[in-house]
């Protein structure tokens, strides 16, 4: 009888261990970039080259060039800032906007609005500036969760922006802060 109880316990233990294999962190979605140490994930467009930069605090995806004449890789970047104190989203957005105005030539904020990404309130801004004589048009998203701020920046030249706007929006809307 003791042997039967041991066998039953072994079978139960095996079933429990096998069923727990799917528990915990959960499975990761294919095609999604995970920065577990920075508590976020994002789905970049398929075929874009991903590079981790700035000691891991920035991850960027670069588009393939459209043609031999294409001079700019469209870029989607996520930058992460660890905040010393809690900051309101609107305060953070205003600070980013002031910094952009002071550091980017001919900076122009075209529009700004509050949106929701996942279940988090975010600020979305469309802006342009001049870099090496070329007008660059971008859309940026500011997200603050706890003491961490995320800045998603999508960059294109002025002429190609409309062609990439949907890919930019899809990537930004796929962002998840954990």
Q: What's the confidence (pLDDT) of residue 139?
A: 97
Residue 25, CA distances (Å) to 30, 36, 44, 109 in order? 15, 10, 21, 40
Q: What is residue 172's three-state secondary structure?
A: helix
- CB-based contact 140:127 (threshold 8 Å): yes
Q: What's the confidence (pLDDT) of residue 178?
A: 86
pTM: 0.82
Residue 63, CA distances (Å) to 21, 49, 67, 73, 119 in order? 36, 7, 12, 5, 28
Tell me what the mean pLDDT of segment 2-28 comes to.
39
Distance CA 93, CA 144 (A): 9
Q: Across the chain, what does the average pLDDT equal?
A: 85
Encode pLDDT of 28-80 as tens digits: 888 899 999 999 999 999 999 999 988 778 999 999 877 767 667 899 999 99
| % of the chain residues with pLDDT over 90 | 69
- CB-based contact 84:92 (threshold 8 Å): no
User: Where do the H-state alpha helices sit in the chain?
Assistant: 2-20, 89-103, 161-174
User: Which has more confidence, 75 or 19?
Assistant: 75
| CATH superfamily entry for domain 35-177 | Mog1/PsbP, alpha/beta/alpha sandwich (3.40.1000.10)
Distance CA 160, CA 145 (A): 32
């Amino acid at each position: 009888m003791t042997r039967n109880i041991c066998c039953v316990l072994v079978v139960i233990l095996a079933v429990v261990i096998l069923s727990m294999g799917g528990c915990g962190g959960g499975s990761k979605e294919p095609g999604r970039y995970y920065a577990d140490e920075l508590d976020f994930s994002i789905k970049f467009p398929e075929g874009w080259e991903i590079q981790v930069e700035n000691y891991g605090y920035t991850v960027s995806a670069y588009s393939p060039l459209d043609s031999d004449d294409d001079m700019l890789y469209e870029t989607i970047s996520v930058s992460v800032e660890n905040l010393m104190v809690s900051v309101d989203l609107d305060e953070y957005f205003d600070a980013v906007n002031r910094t952009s105005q002071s550091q980017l030539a001919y900076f122009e904020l075209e529009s700004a609005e509050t949106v929701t990404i996942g279940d988090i309130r975010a600020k979305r801004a469309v802006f342009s500036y001049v870099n090496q004589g070329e007008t660059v048009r971008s859309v940026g998203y500011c997200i603050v969760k706890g003491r961490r701020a995320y800045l998603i920046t999508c960059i294109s030249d002025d002429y190609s922006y409309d062609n990439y706007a949907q890919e930019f929006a899809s990537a930004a809307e796929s962002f998840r802060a954990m």
